[in-house]
Structure 1
């Protein structure tokens, strides 16, 4: 009976190992397809990097996460230093300064920062669960510094991953769902404010920005913004201490967010970031500029039909109609060459992976390990959803890679580090069950 249970448990780990390795295998072929007409061929690096990642995962699998807790602050400090170094000596590419060159290899510290943040936030939430609003200061303080350093690179996509990590881990630690909604509320206010006529906002003069943003507003947008502000104030009144003060503070936060939004839009965001946020709604407005990626990506996926054109047979992929297809837009190559069925299999694979991670998180032996696994699951699935939505035209281009499929050394290594940490939790949980 015991041996049968062990076999079942071992079979389950085919999900944790099988899904990532299958993704890596197909990705190598897809990347090779995108480089058929290129002057270079480095698709094999994808497999070599994955092999190194597998070795790292096997090592981490044998290391109990509790032993890492004494190293979390040094690891976090090293992460912050590396992000600062990006600003000082980093390598610039594609309009952003995100990499450090080490021995001729470009390393992206923001990828490793995600793991460091997950580990430290998990440790903080285990020791200091969020029971009062003031308890939010600790986890938010942990994530604030790396988030800001990543945002100003600028790397909007990775900064969004940090936000998703924080909210999910806070909820998993037991924070009320009403508080999660309140933390998310400024984001919805910003999204609503994007409907305001901010086209052409390029000035740095505060008075001019505000006048341009708010003079010509339509009534429905104002009704939505006011209704949302009232709703959040009422939610704060019902769920937070010092009810009246909390309601007033939440209303002030919404108003402040609305006022700051045009400044962020016109001054902080780069031109290409504004284009990405607007053109996904109608990429045909600039078919040869900011909307080109989205249009070509959707055409490529649609041309694959049900079964696809076959691996290494995609014509749009061969002729390199889609920029950065081996990295951010690898899903479009998948759609063209494997069709709807290939895309469906990949999505099902990621769903199985997330389902297994949820099981691991539920049966972890400590809150720390459970929070680490749920943070890793959030990191992977948030990137999957955002990347796929981006390539099929349901979201803006954010530069978030597709885990295990997109080409990228740092991202690949981080994904396998994450896998190794989850496998460590599985191993320790099994030992605890056997001892019982």
Structure 2
């Protein structure tokens, strides 16, 4: 049994560009940071392929995880401390859940999950509960402590206030990544007054609420999030890189399933191809491993795999045009047919990519719990939902914005060494649309 209140002999700090310092006094937190599963997050970028658009976006999930921990530490040690609604016994659990919330992310997370049917949240749970260094550290608090941490991250823990610190429409996770991603991409959109938001946070039985005097800081946060999604996260160039990455993963899997003889055995990928990924296999995956294979595959005999890997590694990305799949589905099938006539496989070289975001939503019964609305604490003690008080937030509440792009390799279409007429036809169709 471990004393959950055990402190380090002196405070450790990490210098941080967003929060200035990340402070660690709890021995458990320090030991968790030192585990191999947590250190692996240094080798996984927070923003996947975004570094190909914004060259500064090289920060890792390790940076972000420390940042989320630091925000929650400030909330529980400064803002909530001594308040009757806050259960001090949940302090260490809140800190551990904040630190470990992204533990199961894989390399280029979302593309991998889509192609190989993985779920980073399930792997977060498996790392916390499995035969891992993280699990051994957590068990020093108590035998059931790893399960409690997994429950908080999985949003099933009985104390909803603890869950809301890292999973709500305004939580430590979002507050860190918006500021951190804005800092490293060099854009101004993601900045908001976090100090003010922390000052007006108050614990309630089932979630964090915000004093109405801080409403403008909360509005600023909502708009920052809205702008970051459309200016950074859904940037069409980043999405082009994501499309190529997805096609590489699909091609490698298809070749394996057709007994293709790789020049270099893709041993790290075999369990992915067969969709039998063990926890040990998963923990070995990081972005340096994946990029090594992509570099090796630039030498493969298969033209599609070779070409796609070359494009990704050397940033020779697909071009794009605006596209409405609901209205232009006939056009897509026509392009598919013309691509085949031009000997360009549309399965790998013609792709519709869609992005969609709901910047803020009010409560809808029966929908996912994360859609709990942001509540304002009024001077008379009443609690009111944000969009009822804020005309700015009301204007975007419940309004989903969706954007579709059609991606294609312009350089292959401009190569007139063969199928010149068909390629010109394709280009004229794309130019028109």
TM-score (normalizing by structure 1): 0.26
Higher relative contact order (CA 8 A, sep 6+): 1
Higher helix share: 1
Query: Which has the larger Rg?
Result: 2
Higher strand share: 2
